[in-house]
Amino acid sequence: MALKAVSICICANQSISHLGVTDLGCRRSGSVLNLRFERKWECCGASAQRKPQAPVLGLQDGSELTHITETRGFHKDLNSLPRPLTAMDLSSFPRDGVKVRVAYQGLSGAYSEAAALKAYPKCETVPCDHYEATFKAVELWLVDKAVLHIEHSVGGSIHRNYDLLLRHRLHIVGEVQLLVNHCLLGLPGVRKEELKRVLSHPQALEQCEITLNKLGVVRVSADDTATAAQIVASEGLRETGAVASARAAKIYGLDILAEKIQDDSDNISRFLILAREPIIPGTDRPHKTSIVFTLEEGPGVLFKALAVFALRDINLSKIESRPQRNRPLRVVDDSNQGSAKYFDYLFFIDFEASMAEPRAQYALGHLQLNLVCWSVSKAQF
């Protein structure tokens, strides 16, 4: 199979559209941010100037992924890049007297909120009813950052959130790893033997399988662990427990009936921090870079793609593949007699090097020579 040479594109050069504050189609329902996705886009001047000349890839939902072609180095267009985030932007200290606002999925007491507070200890956390809303909250300038659960040490990758990364134009600017210690919560005075049901996020229920099997309870899924605790407390459910954090117990006035009930003591969740603007990579500290690309079909093509990193001693910390949604299925033979059908895949790779390092630039240049590759985004961890 012939390899097709195309350009590698860098998300750092993407333009940003935003809504004026008065145009926001949003409302607060309770304490959770609930966005009505009205699309009254208004381009800021700077982004209009940065309109790319390079091809624009249409995504399945009709939105466009814009990118700018780089032919030689990866920093050729630095002058036209958006303003880099400064150390001040990334700190938890107030900017102009205003706290960093971080959107997360769930209610107060959810692990996503704990991840936001680990990244920015003095931030103002903004609960959202679903992950899509956290992206929108950043895009609409309601908040500065969003936390996105991307992987768990037991459950693996959160595939839907990989897909959301492509559907939106936010940049990965950091990573948080959180040790998730689940507790069994109940109304004050309730004993765990009295529980008939346990409510929680499906992932949390899965992570506590052994304890829940021993208790012989029915599992009921909730949007997040904190919502589970809130339901038990607000509805006074004596026979229903919740799997949630110790912090959720405190917030919703529940008793901790058992601690550290997860099957695996190293129960780690990995979250990404997303922002409107990218970080300009340096060499001052260890960095990670995230890229996503497609490959032409053929033997050894993925091997060759990965070799560009191995040849330069660059460690890959994560590989994930997802079906390419705008080219989902290739039918080789339509006779319907057991003919082969292929998905086209997108490959997501995290590698441990900064784009300021020549070896990383050469590796992506090498990839560019050999592969169909698009959308390189940067994650500075």
Ligand X SMILES: O=C(O)C(=O)C[C@]1(C(=O)O)C=C[C@@H](O)C=C1
Residue 250 has, within 13 A of its CA and on its CB side, a CA count of 6
Residue closer to ligand X by CB (options 138, 226) is 226
Are the beta carbons of 84 and 18 closer than 8 angstroms?
Answer: no
Site for ligand X in 329-348 (CB under 6 A): none
Burial class (CB in 10 A: 0-12, 13-18, 19+), 343: middle
- Count of alpha carbons within 13 Å of 80, Cβ hemisphere only? 20
User: CB under 6 A: which stretch of 8-16, 108-116, 249-257, 365-373 binds ligand X?
Assistant: 108-116
Residue pair 169/140 in contact by the 8 Å Cβ criterion: no
Options 225, 361, 377, 380; binder of ligand X; rule CB under 6 A: 225
134 binds ligand X (CB under 6 A): no
Q: How far is the CB of 287 from ligand X (least distance, A)?
A: 25
Question: Residue 49 is inside which H or E element, if any?
Answer: helix 45-49
Q: Does 174 bind ligand X (CB under 6 A)?
A: no
Q: Is 117 in the site for ligand X (CB under 6 A)?
A: no
Which of 226, 204, 27 is CA-nearest to residue 107?
Answer: 226
Interface residues for ligand X in 269-288 (CB under 6 A)?
Answer: 269
**Contact between 14 and ligand X (CB under 6 A)?**
no
Break the chain down into helix, strand, coil percent, rounded to 5.
25, 30, 45
Binding ligand X (rule: CB under 6 A), the pick from 70, 100, 102, 106 is 106
In degrees and rounded to multiples of 5, residue 173 shows phi and psi of -120, 0
Q: Between 134 and 290, name the residue whose CB sits nearer to ligand X.
A: 134
Figure out which of the listed residues 129, 144, 151, 224 binds ligand X, where binding follows CB under 6 A: 224
Q: Is 127 in the site for ligand X (CB under 6 A)?
A: no
- Site membership for ligand X, residue 175 (CB under 6 A): no
- Minimum Å gap between C-beta 145 and ligand X is 16
145, 149, 169, 288: which one binds ligand X (CB under 6 A): 149
Residue 248: CA atoms inside 13 Å, Cβ hemisphere, count? 35
Per DSSP, 293 falls in state E
Report the residue from 110, 165, 251, 295 that binds ligand X according to the rule CB under 6 A: 110
Min dist. Cβ of residue 247 to ligand X (A): 10
**CB of residue 84 vs ligand X: minimum separation in angstroms?**
30
Q: Which stretch binds ligand X (CB under 6 A): 52-60, 134-142, 201-209, 304-312?
A: 201-209
Nearest alpha-carbon partner for 320 in 350, 356, 275: 350
Residue nearer to ligand X on the CB measure, 182 or 287: 182
Told to check if 212 binds ligand X by CB under 6 A, we report no
Q: Closest by alpha carbon to 112, among 99, 127, 124?
A: 127
Within a 10 A sphere around the Cβ of 249, how many other Cβ atoms? 22
Binder among 112, 125, 290, 370 for ligand X (CB under 6 A):
112
Binding segment (CB under 6 A) for ligand X, from list 8-16, 72-80, 107-115, 368-376? 107-115
> How many Cβ atoms are within 10 Å of 132's Cβ, its own excluded?
16
Does 125 engage in binding with ligand X (CB under 6 A)? Answer: no
Q: 10 or 243, CB closer to ligand X?
A: 243
Among residues 32, 180, 291, 379, the one that binds ligand X under rule CB under 6 A:
180
Span interacting with ligand X, options 44-52, 67-75, 219-227, 361-369, rule CB under 6 A: 219-227
CA distance 135 to 183: 29
Per-position DSSP letters for 339-354, written without gaps between them: --EE--EEEEEEESS-
Q: What secondary structure letter does DSSP report for 11?
A: G
Which residues contact ligand X (rule: CB under 6 A)? Answer: 106, 110-112, 149, 152, 180, 201, 203-204, 224-226, 269
